[in-house]
Amino acid sequence: MIQLAAVAIKMGATKEDFDRTVAVHPTMAEEIVLMKQPVRSH
């Protein structure tokens, strides 16, 4: 994770940029990756 922050800072990211982002916990990230289109069964 620190490498990602370092790259962002090298590219000019500011504290305000980081404040505007939304943190995603790793377990929640797994759920987002597994999301599928809803299927209508009715």
Q: Which residues are catalytic?
A: 25
How far is 40 from 26, CA to CA, in rounded Å?
29
Distances (CA, A) of 31 to 23, 25, 27: 14, 10, 7
